Structure 1
Amino acid sequence: MDSFFDCEAAAGQGLAPKPTFRTVEGLYTTLNGLSGRLREAKVKSTFEGFVDPITGHRIGNGHVRWSNGDEFEGEFEGDRPLKGSFISTRHSLKYIGGFDEGGKFSTRKGDTATLIYTDASSYTGEMRSGLYHGFGVLVEESMTYEGEFLNGMRDGVGTLKDIFGRKAYAGQWKVDEKNGEGSSWEYEGSGMVPTSWYSGSWRSSRYWGEGTLSDGNVVFEGDWVAGLRHGEGRETRKLEGNSGKTVREGRWENGREGNGEWILNYADGSQYAGSCENGQPEGRGMLKLSNEDVYTGYFRAGLRHGEGVVVFAAGDSFEGLWRQDQPVGLNIFIGDSPANNKKKQPKQVVGDVTDLTLSEIRLSDEGEEGGEGNMDGERVKGQGEADDQPPYTYDNGDQFFGHIDSKGLRQGRGIYIVKRTGARYEGMFVDNLRDGSGTMTADSSVFTGFFSEDEFLDGTLVVRGLITYKGKFKENEFHDDAGELCDWEGTMYTGAFVNGVKEGMGKITYPDGSVFVGEFKRNRRDGEGTVKKGDDFIYCGCWRNDAKHGHGILNLEEGSYEGTFVNGLYSGFGKLTTKKRSIETNFKFGRFLEGAQAEIKWPDGSFFSGLIDEDGLPKGHGTVRFANGDCYEGDFREGKRHGRGTTVFANGEKFVGFWMNDEMGKGKLTLESGVVHDFD
């Protein structure tokens, strides 16, 4: 039983909203007969037209009507539809165009076809094997796509318009997704002026790569991953009421401002440059106010907190410890002379203060912090000798070198040594706790950075001289959107940590120079990710539990594979390309699937469509079109024509019969002149 209108006429897939595949099926049985009306009782169809009395084939113009209401009117060639009009009441469509050897909707070079559905959607353009293929226009209820298709999916360059005719997207597509360079627009109601737009790189219909997004008040220029700001970028935000704008420039992580170095420009004209966390100054940085005062030092949660120096526009300066934007503890005030840890110079006083404005500084405990001074004409003056503090020894033998206040609490910079373990901390204290910059050495580990309430906050941890982590901490665990971890083999991870494990977007650089960039879960690659070496990518696609899993593209030494992976192996539909051929089919556990439908293309232009064996060779029923124009439909074994089949040669001759290992056997050869030769 031959196939007729076995047209898996995919009327597009993946549009917004995605239409479903519309499959047109039907069978006919060739019966020997005469020209005129031919009834085929087996399928309850009626043919009106010319039937070759010798071959029984329908040729020329004819009309077929099936009992289910489907009908075809058009031209036949060799008992197959060549071109015409097909109407299916079952599938609510009308097709006008050409057909391939298998009876599927298909156009020849330069021709177009039209598909019209009863729901008013339609397609006009090129087709192949029942699928949109080439240039075409697909009209759906709410969207119109005009552009290139490949195997039924939008692939190439195309434009998507909405119901009002407004451009929604224009650019490149891949496997029915926005992929490559393109621009998109969004509108409010039926207005024709876009309220927001994006222009740049895409992947999987999401912003991915370098691009610019604008919604009128906010413009972001920079890097994107999976639709989120991720990488270097610059945000410009207009404030309401014409009150100016803010500019934030730095590295973004998963759609949020990442931790690291930033430049922040505020609406009042002030500017910050330095370390940030969660969108606020955190760590060391420089703040230049609109009045030209400049603060250089440490910040916490956007406020000056820790050691810092203010240089006022008039030239005076203040150096000391800050808490919640206010100076605290032992400080040094300098007029026009440098500071000295031991000797106080003219215009220099040591003492506690109550305000941060130089002209308003007052000494609250004059002389008690190892020196004396006075205020004269609102200028810091005086000189004297500062006393050294002796070490303080605790009952357990621990020692502290530094300042202890009247409440017995360690304050300011000091050194604490644990007698039992030899652990040593040198840095800032607040109310007995490590708080601020410091270095801690314990066992074979060294941490240098910042502490908060006796816990690691931000810094560098080196373990046994082999493993190094740089970044933020939470409850003494790695916790950062942009941390760095280098192991003893030289493998470097940069990216997100949550509660001590890799979680979120990250990048791994391996000792061999290959680089992975993508998503992590519980220390493993999981989600979207790409492996590259130099400028060449090795794998791009989905991961699960540290293995390729889902759709991906893998570059091999001899070619490439694009399709579905399961636990690191080809499994599901995919395309394997080598120098010898390309094959699209279903795989299972890294091997070809016996009996699967496949399409094979060879470099010389030959093409096969049919069933294959576990080695990926044609086996069973299939069709092959050779580069010289010959076409064979029939049985195969081990990649060769073997069994019953029909061959139409490029010179017009036709052989119907049996083949054995690619050699013609018993059958009939019909010459172009109509003469028939029998082969026994």
Structure 2
Amino acid sequence: MLIDGEDAYKTAPGMEALLDEKALLSSMADCTVEEEADKGPPENLDSFVVDEWPNDDRPREKVSMQLDNNDFYDGEVLDGLMDGRGRYTFSDGNVYVGEWVRGKKQGTGTFTWSNGDVYEGTWLDGKMHGHGRLVLKDKMIYEGEWQEGKCHGKGNCRYQNGDKFSGEFRDGKRFGQGKLVQVEGYTWEGNWRGNAMEGQGTCKYPSGDEYEGEWKESKRHGKGIQRYNNSWMYEGEWEEDKRSGLGRLYHLTTQQEYEGEFKEGERWGSGRSVDIDGTEYRGDFRDGVREGWGTAKYPDGSIYRGFWKKGARHGSSIYTAADGSRYEGEWAIDCQQGHGTLVMSDGSRYEGLFRKGVICGQGTMIWSTGDSYAGSWRCGVPHGDGKKIWADGSSFQGEWDRGCMHGAGLHCSKEGKYNGGFRKNLRNGYGVLEASDGSKFVGEWKDGMMHSETAKLSRLLTQDGSVYEGSFKAGLRDGKGRMKYCSGDSYEGDWRANKKHGAGAYSWARGMKFRGKWQEGRMHGNGTMVYPDGHVYEGGFIDNVPNGHGVLTRRGNKTEGKWQDGKLIARWEGKPPMLKEIDPFSAESIQLPSIPDICEP
């Protein structure tokens, strides 16, 4: 914005001081003496006045006389009139000493007022006329030409406060060419009229400022040039001591300038300005700042076309940035504010609300990638309720926080449909996933994966119809859980990383049941197997097969021994019992039924 140091080119100081002293200067410069200096002899001397005066050198008579009005005259007379040299003392204390002609002061003489004022110079017909020096006590000293009792012609005047004027006078006032030097540091030189600068003239200010141009009543008025002490210069029109009309204000060492209309000393109307950074503006001004319609071109190549208020972009406008992006909409206090449309340099497009220059409020964004979002924004990113559709067809509708899916929402993708909680773009909290393969999960999530430590909270329906209810960790079945397979088999017990691990019971649809230890999805360790025919094996297992010490119960009879790969290879007999090996081909050898496949996981 124009302009650094703008106060520097306000009306220069000192002009007001001169105008305030105008009345004083007028009285000081008006050297008309209308007091006793203009008085002639009293009326009782009329008998001495004759119509025609002889031009003779007759000798004068010297007299000293008291007049009827108590004035006193001591000097020469001729034919009863004061003529020659004489001293006239007025009753009020005023004194004139000098030459007389035919009863009037004429020639050289000195008039001293009772208050101490003194005029010394030439007289004509009873009035100060010609050349003389007037000293007005505590006011001024004037020395110069006189006419008809008034300062008239060339003269010099020194005022009591130290001001000095040298120039021309007319009828007791400064009139014509002259120079006034004031003790405050002002110097006025030019044409005067009626004690005021009028016409062409110059003024040098104590600050170092200088004006040259036209004046009216001691005010800059008309065309003129003002040079400021801070390297600013104004060339143009003035009115009533203020810049008014067409003009140019510019800096001598920088590119700052303004050219256009002025009013009341301020930029006002249509104009062109260049800021110190190179910003160029063409348009309306009011009270010294941009206001109305205008176009600003910035150094980086960006352009603003629109309305302004109090020097700031405000109202409807079109803004084109240096990178080619374009904004069309509303501004307030130099920022995009309200409804607008922003087309970015990459082709992305936003239409909606802005606040303090950023996207904020309800709006729709279509990215150049094909993604789109419609909803609430804050600080330039989705925030609040909204829906985003990605180019691949996936979508999310729900709550957003600082650009992330956060809160409750519905996410649809090729994977399936998820309805539930999110945190920083990942599934968190309670949610339902209906996968595209037909599987379904109902329960708790953490960091994008199924996660629950309470079986009641989570339920998984796989694509083949199997159902798991239980705990999850990192997206895998982990902890306590129950699985019912589509084959009719079921398992209830411990899980780890999606595998049966720990204590658990497995039931086959064929009627077999196992309860015992599991490891990595296999029966491993001690357990009990119940066969469909009612036989029960209780003992060790390795990799889903009875191995090690075990007891087989058949129809109430128990066989205890050592088993290998589901076959009895040694029996406990005698007292104390001892392990007796059995011929695998003998009738004593027992082979347990094979165990059906176990569903995975």
TM-score by length of 1: 0.43
Task: Identify the structure with the greater helix proportion.
Answer: 2
* More contact order relative to length (CA 8 Å, sep ≥ 6): 2
